[in-house]
Amino acid sequence: MRERILAAAVEVIRERGITAATTKEIARSAGVSEGSLYNHFANKTALFAAALGEVTATARTAMAALAGSAGKGTVEGNLIRLAAGMVRFYGELLPMIGPVLADPDLIAWLRADGPVQAQREAVAATGRAPDPALPPGSPGGPPSGPPGGPAAGPVLGHAALIGYLEAERRAGRLAAGAPLPAIAAALLGGCQQHAFLIRLAGPETVAAGARLPEAPEEFAEELVGAVLAGHLPS
- Ordered by start, the domain boundaries in the chain are 2-228
- pTM (predicted TM-score): 0.85
Q: Give pLDDT, residue 28.
A: 95
Q: Give pLDDT, residue 234.
A: 79
The CA radius of gyration of the chain, in Å to the nearest whole number, is: 20
Q: Is the dihedral of CA 13, 58, 114, 124 positive or negative?
A: positive
Pick from 125, 115, 145, 143: which is nearest to 54 by CA? Answer: 145
- How far is Cα 169 from Cα 40, in angstroms, rounded to an integer? 46
Q: Give pLDDT, residue 32.
A: 94
| CATH of range 2-228; options 3.40.50.300, 3.40.50.1980, 1.10.150.240, 1.10.357.10 | 1.10.357.10
Instruction: Going residue by residue through the chain, which has 234 residues, state the pLDDT in tens, using 9 for 90 and above.
Output: 999 999 999 999 988 888 889 999 999 999 999 999 999 998 898 899 888 888 888 898 999 999 999 999 999 999 999 999 999 999 999 988 888 888 898 888 888 888 888 888 888 888 888 888 988 888 888 888 766 666 677 888 999 999 999 999 999 999 999 999 999 999 999 999 999 999 999 999 999 999 999 999 999 999 999 999 999 997
- How far is Cα 111 from Cα 101, in angstroms, rounded to an integer? 12
- How far is Cα 8 from Cα 27, in angstroms, rounded to an integer? 8
Q: Give pLDDT, residue 11.
A: 93
Q: Give pLDDT, residue 27.
A: 96
Task: List the Cα angle 56/62/147 in 5-degree steps.
Answer: 40
Q: Give pLDDT, residue 198.
A: 96
